[in-house]
Every structure is written in C-alpha cells, then in structure tokens.
Amino acid sequence: MTKIDIIDLLYERMGLPKREAREVVDAVFDTIKNTLIAGEQVKIAGFGTFNIRKKGSRKGRNPRTKEEVEIKPRKVLVFKASSELKKTHRESS
C-alpha cells in the first residue's frame, strides 16, 4: 500500500475527488511529521503512537575498515502499535 492506494480508497469508498483526497493525505502526514519534528509525540487512537527517542553518542566501528568512529547523538522515531492494532493483527494472522 502506498499513498496512491490510500487516495484511491478515499475516492472509491467516500467519493472524495482524487485531488482533494491527495491534499488531505498529504496534510495528514505533513502535520504528523511537523509535530514530531517539533519534538511532540503523536498518538492515533486505535492505530499507534509515534515517539521521539533521543540517543546518546556511542562508539561504533566501520565494519569494513574496522576503524573506530563516534556515532553522534541523534533522534530516532519509534512507532508502537496500539493494543487494538496488535490484537486485530494477531487474530487475522
């Protein structure tokens, strides 16, 4: 599934013109993105939570040259599926 499939679904199931559907889908993911960039978590009830986790610096090694390098502190995005998503997922598999 890609963004285009979501747009098609909104068109087929809700009769939403594709241009509008694309605008909404873009606005939804842009808004989530900007909120996360601002450092705030995003919680979608029934789906899951996006959180920002700060990682400290640590030493790594280039596996090819075996050279030691510093991995700089960075922010990573973690997604945790909601219990509801996990549940329906488990039942259908």
Partner 1 sequence: MTKSMLTEKVSERLKELTRKQIAVIINTIFDNMKEALNKGEKIEIRGFGIFRIKERKAKIARNPKTGQKVSVSERKTIHFKTGKALHNALNKIK
> Where on the chain is the footprint of partner 1 (CB under 8 A)?
1-3, 5-6, 9-10, 13-14, 16, 20-21, 23-25, 27-29, 31-33, 35-37, 40-48, 52, 74-79, 81, 85-86, 88-90, 92-93
CB nearer partner 1, residue 62 or residue 93:
93
**Which C-beta is closer to partner 1: that of 1 or that of 63?**
1
Shortest reach from residue 16's CB to partner 1, in Å: 7
* Token pair 């009830």: residue: 45
Instruction: Tell me whether residue 61 or residue 88 sits nearer to partner 1 (CB atom).
Output: 88
Distances from the Cα of 81 to the Cαs of 40, 67, 68, 87, in angstroms? Answer: 17, 37, 35, 10
Question: Nearest 5 degrees, angle CA 22-CA 31-CA 49?
Answer: 110
Shortest Å, Cβ 78 to partner 1: 8
Q: How far is the CB of 52 from partner 1 (least distance, A)?
A: 7
